[in-house]
């Protein structure tokens, strides 16, 4: 194994991403062409025509990142179109040739991977204080393993977090939750978790419960737990500014919120109205915020999802004041187009504005640091606040935790979900393509909102999305306020849904073992086909199938009205069609095939001579007979 080289410029801000060993190397030996320009560090490399560039974790577009420009800048953006450059995570890891590059730097990075010039990658760091780690190994998988050793072991959730989970914005009261459980049970569809979105809180205040909607919450949690269901409440980053709200007041009194240059608290508006943003970058603030989760763990809660931590800001007091003043100035005027659109933009631009981010000031080692220098650390430090508290208070693998924003490093404390996708067929593939990419970066417990979050889903879309979700560690159906109901029992063909979700439960022993193995060995669960078949052109270009563990390949159906798909087999495999109660096997030889997959079936390809255990389905993970396995063999 080659030593990982570490190149440092300036005085980097500690991100705690790296826990392993690397050899500090003189910058004179940095192997890339670089320049420092206007306070930015820019380096580049040329790409051979057939070279694949992997990485960047949670990002738009393909597994092969070539041909686009990306930005590491945690963004609350609910339109995951291919024209976007950033999503919620900032995962600064790239592989090209026999080298992995990890940029340990918490500000914005621009990755031009053949966008300006097809054969050239140019990477721009918005600052000159950073560490870059270079990892040289023979294969991409070895590069990933070496990198993952460097950044430390991935988060492992409790076993029950591998069950099927139902979310909605929102189940507004206890009876709504009861009804979800009852209807899943009545339809005999397995279920392990039901989520509480923001409306369970009292006026969107973290660590409160609306007594009207959820009277006697402790008893309610116990009632649901007695049915082997876990309730998973959401926690938002901002803390509501409100007199008499103890959490807010304590944070205020101790000076724990992100400030502005004049030392006053930065005031931004989110769901609760004006909030304070805890300065999670400070260890004492993390410890304080982490302890607040006790309010809910004391009531029997064992899992959380952390949201709005990019951080998402609908408006700031200052921004709103300016926009309103601009509008007042125009009052009574006959607006020309320039002024009209300027006015429109003044309001449209209020959310997640660069001006606001630039106004925010953190404190690191007692010194003020502009938010823009550490933007990508914010949500990750919120995950750390919760994760570190959970581990210390309850031990490992006890509490489910995942977050929307993340950076490499927070993979040790929690998982991630892929945020506000759409009920679009194309988002099945977007999810598939992110899986190996985030695995490279250490995020193993992850998944997309199955069925799609925004807009209305159809039964066939939800089923095909779920059939991919059968394999994602986080298997959660979620949808937005105002969209069509998306729970499995809402659709007429409930038995199709039962079949698909039962397949998940039948596979849990295998999926859990594969997950643990990947976590404990710093390996990937999902790999691009090109990792395993580097000399096979069709495997190298495949963006719609993935290798899973050592045994399998997955290839979901991702188009509407398609009764199957074309699949490429890089070697002989057996094609299994799995449902709740049936398994059909069809040996296929290396090459292209048209495979037929009914809506109630999950396609799975097993390599020749490899076996996968199936246990009988159960309505809960707690009831799974994991020792009663039959094996299916390729
Ligand atoms: O501004 O809590 O990504 O899962 O349902 C939207 C409401 C805030 C965004 C999350 C989504 C959640 C929603 N939240």
pLDDT of residue 201: 98
CA 370 to CA 375: how far, in whole Å?
Answer: 9
- The answer to whether the CB of 169 is under 6 A from ligand 1 is yes
What is the number of the ligand 1 atom nearest to the C-alpha of 449? 4
Ligand 1: centre distance to CA 6 (Å): 38
- The answer to whether the CB of 391 is under 6 A from ligand 1 is no
- The answer to whether the CB of 404 is under 6 A from ligand 1 is yes
pLDDT band at 587 (very low <50, low <70, confident <90, very high): very high
Ligand 1: centre distance to CA 167 (Å): 11
Nearest to 434 by CA among 524, 519, 507: 524
For the ranges 258-267, 327-336, 435-444, 595-604, which has the lowest average pLDDT?
A: 327-336
What is the number of the ligand 1 atom nearest to the C-alpha of 481? 5
What digits encode the pLDDT tens for the residues 75-94? 999 999 999 999 999 999 99
CB atoms within 10 A of CB 626: 16
- Backbone torsions φ then ψ of 526, nearest 5 degrees: -110, 130
* Residue that terminates a domain, selected from 121, 151, 181: 151
Ligand 1: centre distance to CA 304 (Å): 13
CA 437 to CA 152: how far, in whole Å?
Answer: 17
pLDDT of residue 593: 98
- The answer to whether the CB of 289 is under 6 A from ligand 1 is no
* Residue that terminates a domain, selected from 127, 151, 175: 151
User: Does residue 49 fall inside a structural domain?
Assistant: yes
User: Does residue 104 fall inside a structural domain?
Assistant: yes
**Domain count along the chain:** 2
CATH of the domain at 563: 2.60.40.4040
pTM over 0.75: yes
The answer to whether residue 1 scores a pLDDT higher than 60 is no
CATH of the domain at 69: 2.60.40.1760
Ligand 1: centre distance to CA 314 (Å): 13
Nearest to 398 by CA among 154, 157, 155: 157
- The answer to whether the CB of 198 is under 6 A from ligand 1 is yes
Question: What residues have CB less than 8 Å from 163, skipping those under 6 apart?
Answer: 190, 191, 192, 193, 475, 504, 505, 508, 620, 621
Nearest CA to ligand 1 atom 11: 420
Ligand 1: centre distance to CA 420 (Å): 7
User: Does residue 185 fall inside a structural domain?
Assistant: no
To the nearest 10°, report the CA torsion of 390, 314, 239, 283. Answer: 50
CA 521 to CA 472: how far, in whole Å?
Answer: 19
The answer to whether residue 2 scores a pLDDT higher than 90 is no
CB 121 within 8 A of CB 114: yes
Range of the domain at 566: 515-633
Nearest to 151 by CA among 354, 442, 360: 442
Nearest to 303 by CA among 231, 200, 222, 236: 231
* Residue that terminates a domain, selected from 124, 151, 178: 151
Rg of the chain over Cα atoms, rounded to whole angstroms, equals 24
CB atoms within 10 A of CB 423: 22
Mean pLDDT of the 458-484 span: 99
The answer to whether residue 301 scores a pLDDT higher than 60 is yes
- Backbone torsions φ then ψ of 268, nearest 5 degrees: -120, 155
- The answer to whether the CB of 234 is under 6 A from ligand 1 is yes
User: Does residue 599 fall inside a structural domain?
Assistant: yes
CA atoms within 13 A on the CB side of 242: 16
User: Does residue 256 fall inside a structural domain?
Assistant: no
Ligand 1: centre distance to CA 577 (Å): 35
- The answer to whether the CB of 197 is under 6 A from ligand 1 is yes
pLDDT of residue 77: 97
For the ranges 168-177, 340-349, 367-376, which has the lowest average pLDDT?
A: 340-349
pLDDT of residue 154: 99
Ligand 1: centre distance to CA 99 (Å): 37
CA 242 to CA 240: how far, in whole Å?
Answer: 6
User: Does residue 328 fall inside a structural domain?
Assistant: no
The answer to whether residue 430 scores a pLDDT higher than 60 is yes
Question: What residues have CB less than 8 Å from 506, skipping those under 6 apart?
Answer: 578, 580, 614, 615, 616, 617
The answer to whether residue 316 scores a pLDDT higher than 60 is yes
Ligand 1: centre distance to CA 323 (Å): 25
CB atoms within 10 A of CB 49: 6
Nearest CA to ligand 1 atom 5: 169
What is the number of the ligand 1 atom nearest to the C-alpha of 420? 3
- The answer to whether the CB of 419 is under 6 A from ligand 1 is yes
Mean pLDDT of the 325-354 span: 94
User: Does residue 613 fall inside a structural domain?
Assistant: yes
| Residue of 78, 89, 196, 234 to mutate, ligand 1, most atoms within 8 A of C-beta | 234
What is the number of the ligand 1 atom nearest to the C-alpha of 236? 2
Mean pLDDT of the 97-101 span: 97
User: Does residue 180 fall inside a structural domain?
Assistant: no
Ligand 1: centre distance to CA 307 (Å): 7
CB 578 within 8 A of CB 602: yes
The answer to whether residue 115 scores a pLDDT higher than 80 is yes
Mean pLDDT of the 230-257 span: 98
Tokens of residue 9, six digits: 């410029």
Tokens of residue 100, six digits: 């992995």
């Amino acid at each position: 194994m080659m030593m990982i080289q570490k190149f440092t410029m300036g005085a980097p801000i500690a991100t705690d991403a790296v826990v392993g060993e690397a050899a500090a190397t003189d910058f004179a030996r940095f192997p890339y062409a670089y320049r420092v320009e206007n306070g930015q560090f820019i380096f580049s490399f040329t790409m051979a025509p057939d070279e694949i560039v992997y990485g960047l974790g949670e990002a738009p577009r393909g597994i092969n990142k070539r041909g686009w420009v990306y930005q590491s800048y945690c963004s609350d953006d609910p339109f995951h179109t291919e024209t976007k450059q950033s999503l919620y995570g900032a995962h600064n890891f790239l592989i090209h040739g026999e080298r992995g590059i990890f940029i340990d730097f918490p500000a914005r990075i621009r990755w031009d991977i053949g966008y300006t010039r097809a054969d050239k990658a140019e990477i721009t760091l918005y600052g000159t204080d950073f560490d870059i780690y270079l990892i040289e190994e023979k294969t991409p998988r070895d590069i990933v393993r070496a990198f993952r050793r460097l950044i430390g072991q991935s988060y492992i959730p409790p076993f029950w977090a591998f069950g099927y989970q139902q979310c909605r914005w929102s189940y507004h009261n206890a009876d709504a939750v009861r009804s979800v459980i009852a209807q899943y049970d009545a339809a005999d569809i397995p279920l392990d978790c039901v989520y509480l979105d923001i409306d369970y809180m009292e006026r969107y205040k973290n660590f409160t419960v609306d007594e009207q909607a959820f009277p006697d919450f402790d008893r309610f949690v116990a009632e649901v737990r007695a049915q082997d269901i876990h309730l998973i409440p959401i926690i938002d980053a901002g803390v509501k500014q409100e007199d008499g709200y103890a959490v807010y007041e304590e944070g205020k009194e101790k000076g724990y919120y992100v400030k502005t240059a004049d030392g006053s608290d930065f005031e931004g508006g989110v769901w609760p109205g004006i909030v304070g943003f805890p300065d999670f970058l400070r260890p004492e603030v993390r410890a304080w915020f982490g302890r607040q989760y006790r309010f809910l763990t004391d009531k029997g809660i064992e899992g959380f999802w952390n949201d709005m931590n990019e951080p998402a800001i609908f408006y700031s007091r200052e921004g709103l004041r300016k926009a309103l003043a601009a509008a007042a100035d125009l009052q009574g005027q006959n607006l020309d187009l320039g002024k009209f659109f300027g006015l429109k933009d003044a309001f449209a631009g209020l959310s997640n504005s660069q001006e606001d981010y630039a106004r925010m000031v953190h404190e690191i080692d007692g010194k003020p640091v502009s938010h823009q220098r550490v933007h990508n650390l914010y949500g990750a430090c919120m995950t750390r606040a919760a994760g570190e508290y959970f581990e210390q208070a309850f031990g490992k693998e006890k509490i489910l935790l995942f977050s929307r924003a993340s950076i490499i490093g927070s993979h040790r404390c929690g998982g991630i979900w892929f945020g506000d996708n759409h009920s679009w067929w194309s988002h099945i593939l977007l999810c598939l393509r992110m899986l190996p990419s985030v695995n490279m970066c250490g995020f193993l417990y992850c998944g997309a909102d199955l069925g799609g979050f925004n807009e209305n889903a159809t039964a066939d879309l939800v089923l095909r999305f779920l059939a991919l979700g059968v394999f994602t560690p986080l298997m959660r159906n979620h949808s937005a306020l105002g969209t069509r109901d998306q729970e499995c029992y809402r659709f007429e063909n409930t038995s199709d849904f039962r079949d698909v979700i039962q397949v998940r439960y039948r596979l849990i022993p295998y999926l859990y073992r594969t997950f643990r193995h990947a976590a404990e060995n710093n390996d990937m669960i999902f790999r691009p086909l090109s990792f395993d078949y580097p000399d096979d052109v069709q495997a190298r270009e495949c963006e719609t199938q993935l290798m899973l563990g050592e045994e399998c390949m997955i290839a979901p159906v991702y188009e509407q009205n398609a009764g199957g798909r074309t699949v490429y087999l890089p070697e002989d495999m057996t094609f299994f069609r799995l449902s709740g109660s049936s398994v059909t096997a069809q040996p296929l030889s290396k090459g292209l095939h048209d495979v037929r997959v009914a809506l109630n079936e999950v396609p799975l390809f097993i390599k020749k001579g490899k076996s996968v255990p199936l246990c009988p389905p159960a309505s809960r993970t707690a009831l799974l007979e994991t020792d009663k396995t039959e094996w299916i063999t390729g």
